[in-house]
Amino acid sequence: MEQTNQFLGREPIGSLMRKYALPCIISLLVGALYNIVDQIFIANADYLGSYGNAANTVVFPLTVIALAIAVMIGDGCCAFVSLSLGKGETDNAKLSVGNSVVMALSCGVLLCAVYLIFGDALIRMFGGTVNPETFRCSKEYFFWISLGIPFYIFGQAMNPVIRADGSPKFAMFSTLAGAALNIVLDPVFIFTFRWGMAGAAAATVAGQAVTAFLAVVYLFRMKTVKPSRHSFRPTLTIIRKTLSLGITSFLSQVSLVAAMAAINNMIRRYGALDAVFGQEQYSQIPMAVVGIVMKFFQIVISIVVGMAAGCIPIVGFNMGAGYRGRVRELFTKLLAGEAIVGAVALIFAEFLPNQLIAIFGAANESPYYTEFAVHAFRIYLCMIVFACVNKACFIFLQAMGKAAASTFLSMVREIVFGVGFALILPIFFGLDGVLYSMPVSDILTFAASLFLIVGTYRQLGSRNKPVQEYKSVK
């Protein structure tokens, strides 16, 4: 019997990209909106303002750790399922799905416990001691966010699994439903009830719970991969293979956390030496502003990652089936698309920074807030085109099963360059050195990416099946 996803090896590449990438982009954008929407409403609440914004920036890396675990499980399962189906190994695909469910649930509960026990220490580690009010807001926000970690990890991990099963629209809908609830509840909790940071967090957790619930509903109605009770028994070989394919996603996120920790602490340290931001009433501004710039970057990267991650099932199936010419075509279109996204983002960052910062409550802040924000946008994101292409390269290599090459590239970008330059450049350039660390890292990473991009093209240009076997059906 023909598998229901054989169309991945026959339909035109452009059509498949639209079908799979667009829902993934929307899902990731909506997922990113959880934290961003919180920050927008927090920034526009007169009793929170930049203190709440700074607290949001402090807690954000800790939510990324949860996301890192989720995408390792989910993206790894997605890649493994796609490769297995391409080879006709349906039983292995079922085992990967079942084991991924168990891993997501276990990791969610464990991380929640760690966050609740070590909350204060973690907040200090990520720069929350910039001033007493920021620390208080961070503690309040982080406590409630921690309670939702199990929902967050499970929902985010199941999203790529649902896509791999051939239902990208349902994956998008489940994320949209949760984000919509968050958007509705945020103004109610923050402005009407005046629950402050706790209200923002509670709205987020409610949305995450809805997404997790819808993922559970889908697990009972999977169409291509239908796990049995046996599939949920932990199987070491399946777990190892699933996690090895998802390790790049994990490391790219966790290494980003390391970079954010370094950036936050350098902002706290060198901001205290600045003539303006060394004053207590302004000390939270650099951290709040850099957090906002990162949120804009997160929106852009959500589009970039969505385009690439949405193609994982297509890449995996065609690689498993041996249709390398189709994979090459997909790689070309993906790189071009990512570069265009980066170019559009660059225009916004360089020419419209005042409009961007206005969304985050600039009208309620001092002129120093807007001045530093414009400065930060223009420097920090000036090489965002390279950042977009780099990210696409990481994920595409992962989807091809090249976990080692993808992991190497990701680690070089985030740890060697991202953390290294964030620690070194401020020594010479002060607070501006923190901003320079991003473009310098992206330029050097792109230079390394070029070697892997060229090597990938050479590989995909050889050992193809005859054209008539994989040519797109018109």
The answer to whether 12 touches 162, Cβ cutoff 8 Å, is: no
Give the other-Cβ count within 10 Å of 138's Cβ. Answer: 30
Q: Which tokens belong to 205?
A: 């957790």
Residue 267 CB-half CA count within 13 A: 31
d(CA 334, CA 308): 7
Q: What is the pTM of this model?
A: 0.78
Do 362 and 370 contact (CB within 8 A), yes or no? Answer: yes
pLDDT of residue 363: 65
Helices (H), 118-131: 119-125
Q: For residue 208, give the amino acid letter.
A: Q
Q: What is the DSSP string of 118-144?
A: SHHHHHHHTTTTSSHHHHHHHHHHHHH
Q: Which ranges of 229-323 would DSSP assign to H, the alpha helix?
A: 236-271, 285-309, 312-321
d(CA 180, CA 90): 35
Short-list 258, 344, 332, 334, CA closest to 299: 344
If one counts every other C-beta atom within 10 angstroms of the C-beta of residue 261, the result is: 18
Measure the N-to-C terminal CA separation of the chain; round to a whole number of Å: 23
3-state secondary structure of 148: coil
- How far is the C-alpha of 348 from the C-alpha of 357, rounded, in Å? 11
Q: How confident is the model at residue 4, as a pLDDT?
A: 54
Measure the CA–CA gap between 250 and 163, rounded to whole angstroms: 19
Tokens 């200090």 correspond to: 124
What's the confidence (pLDDT) of residue 323? 85
Distance (Å, rounded) from C-alpha 337 to C-alpha 15? 14
Regions of the chain where pLDDT drops below 50 = 1-3, 463-474
Residue appearing with tokens 């009407």: 192
Please state, in angstroms and as integers, the Cα–Cα distance from residue 130 to each residue in 225, 280, 287, 336, 370, following that order.
49, 9, 9, 42, 19
* 229 alpha-carbon distance from chain centroid: 31
Give the separation between CA 58 and CA 67, rounded to whole angstroms: 16
pLDDT at 306: 85
Q: What is the pLDDT of residue 85?
A: 83
Q: Is 189 exposed, middle or buried (0-12, 13-18, 19+ CB in 10 A)?
A: buried
CA–CA distance from 147 to each of 42, 190, 192, 208, 402 (Å)?
20, 19, 23, 11, 36
Tell me the C-alpha distance between 439 and 238, whole Å. 39
The predicted pLDDT at position 467 comes to: 38
Distance, in Å, from the CA atom of 291 to the CA atom of 362, rounded to the nearest integer, reads 14
- pLDDT score for 471: 43
CA distance 148 to 152: 6
Q: Is 356 helix (H, G, I), strand (E, B) or coil?
A: helix
Question: What's CA 420's distance to the chain center, in Å?
Answer: 21
